[in-house]
Structure 1
Amino acid sequence: MFTVTPADGPDQLDDLVALLGQRQFFAEKLDAQVRGRGVLLVGRLDGSPVGDVWVSFSPAPEAEVNRFLPGVPMLVHLEVLSVLRNRGYGTSIIRAAEELVSARGHERIVLGVGVENPAARRLYERLGYAEWPHGTIDTGYHWAGDDGVRRWFPETITMLVKAL
């Protein structure tokens, strides 16, 4: 059985990392969730974590997003284990995020997709997300490897918005 629920808290860190890796990412998001900055939704197959998305209720790191979509929640870092992709789990995680955002009174949701990730973009467009009219954004993200060193990865993204 596949379910999508918010992470219970920092005590889930080892459980998430065991299958999904990314210790620093999950530690940061679980801490941010405790502080009310967002919700880490976890997709579980028969109780084991197989995917996730961060639903951010904080200002976006990109100034353009805050200028054109102030206060609009953002989906960040949707992932599903590679061996389980194309089975509807990512769609289920996104739908759960949309329901969460709508239940909190928001009428729109936004996400950024890398211009070099057309497969993800097709998924989002199939789910009703549309490109905003303000062009691409040159941004990037910090990522900590298994060695614990944080590195900056530049990325050009397109913002996609959905009315809920």
Structure 2
Amino acid sequence: MNGSMLCVDPLPWFDCDMDTRACNEHDLVALRNAWPTADDVHGAHYTEQREGTATYLVAWQDEEPLGSGLIQWHGPIGMNARAAFPDSVEVNHLQVRPELRGRGVGTVLLKAAEQLAENRGYKLIAVGVALDNPDATRLYRRLGYTPTGVIDVCAYDWTDDDGQQHHEIETDQLLIKRLSP
């Protein structure tokens, strides 16, 4: 699966051709150049993919990355979510470059993730969404994900583009979608 194209129909309202595929070594170089992150997030996600625990999906227009997301094949990462839905996969770290938000990139990434999960025989796919992220919640609900009432709290550190360290505590709600039988 590494680096192969996924068949996801382009969205009629998106104004460019978009390819969505699992990240490969060539893609990793392009990601680091076009969409740099202080903590090499792309490298960390690609490492998870190489270890077989995840698939790092990236949406592209030509050689330009539009957005990305990680499919966790061993289930939800939150303790409560994993206990409640141990047989699901989870899409996390879904992000779209700020200037491209609202143009269908997130939808295409989620549809590609759903297709991959279904192809592997999974019946449930989950997303965790921060309680203070209503835009993402609206997207997930529109795509058929339903709230479960399962809440997890996680703490993490990250570095911004200016090298400033941040500590975050995030409260996430798990949403779930049943895939085709």
TM > 0.5 fold call: yes
Matched, 1:153 2:168: yes
Partner of 2:156: 141
* 118-127 or 17-26, which deviates more: 17-26
* CA RMSD, Structure 1 to Structure 2 (Å): 1.9
* 119-128 or 14-23, which deviates more: 14-23
Given that residues 69 and 94 in structure 2 are in contact (C-alpha distance below 8 angstroms), is that contact kept between their aligned partners in structure 1?
Answer: yes
Match of 2:118, as an amino acid?
Answer: S
Q: 2:41 aligns with which of 9, 14, 25?
A: 25
1:92-131 to structure 2, matched below 5 A, reads 92-131=108-147
Match of 2:32, as an amino acid?
Answer: V
| Runs of 5+ consecutive residues of structure 1 not aligned to the other structure | none
Identity of matched residues, %: 30
Distance in 1 of aligned mates of 2:163 and 2:119: 37
* 11-20 or 60-69, which deviates more: 11-20
Counting matched residue pairs gives 162
Given that residues 157 and 165 in structure 2 are in contact (C-alpha distance below 8 angstroms), is that contact kept between their aligned partners in structure 1?
Answer: yes
Matched, 1:8 2:21: no
Q: 1:150–1:37: structure 2 CA closer, same or farther, 3 Å change rule?
A: farther
TM-score, length-scaled by structure 1: 0.89
- Write out the 4+ residue segments of structure 1 that deviate beyond 4 Å after TM superposition: 146-151
| Runs of 5+ consecutive residues of structure 2 not aligned to the other structure | 1-16
Given that residues 4 and 41 in structure 1 are in contact (C-alpha distance below 8 angstroms), is that contact kept between their aligned partners in structure 2?
Answer: yes
TM-score, length-scaled by structure 2: 0.81
Q: Is the partner of 1:101 in helix, strand or coil? A: helix
Give, in angstroms, the shift of residue 151 of structure 1: 4.8
